[in-house]
Amino acid sequence: MKNIILAATILVAFSTASFAKEKNVDPKLLRDLSVTLKNSTNVHWTDREEYKQASFIFMNKTALAFYKQDNNELIGFGIRYDKVSVPDIITEAMKTKYSDWQVGDVIIFIDTNGNINYFADVQKNNKRLALKITPNGKVSVYAKMPADK
């Protein structure tokens, strides 16, 4: 499940210039992630068809750096949240329309300009969605995905 939401996020990052319209920029977080990756001694690399992925630890969470497969250009960073540490903005934003949906994976995605957005994998009955949640709490359906059996 984690790979599906992450892959969807990365594929869209390829096709859009940035998330700049949201104006949720955190250049310090981008710098901190870049420095942590550069100084990490335990980095696990994975090659995917569309991108390369480096996994490392950032502030006791699994962080991922994504690079274009063809030229090794940085696409952005993702940080996974476990269900216990999901930011309040996610739970508050989902209260109205998605309160009875089961939340799966949640990540924050930071592009190379420092623009940030959250992505949550939610499921209810035979429906499964990837939601995009901005830091100011705006929720939109990012993608429809096949439901788990």
**AA letter at 30:** L
Domains in the chain (CATH in brackets) are 2-145 (3.10.450.360)
For residues 149 and 73, give the distance between their C-alpha atoms in angstroms, rounded to a whole number. 37
Walk along the chain (149 residues) and give the pLDDT tens digit of each residue.
Answer: 455 555 555 555 544 444 444 456 778 888 999 999 999 999 999 998 888 999 999 998 899 999 998 898 999 999 988 777 888 888 888 888 898 998 888 888 998 888 888 998 899 999 999 899 988 889 999 888 887 76
Residue 10 is predicted with a pLDDT of: 56
**AA letter at 16:** T
Residue 26 is predicted with a pLDDT of: 77
- The secondary structure of residue 148, as a DSSP letter, is P
Dihedral sign, Cα of residue 123, residue 79, residue 75, residue 73: negative
Residue 63 is predicted with a pLDDT of: 93
Residue 74 is predicted with a pLDDT of: 92
For residues 127 and 66, give the distance between their C-alpha atoms in angstroms, rounded to a whole number. 28
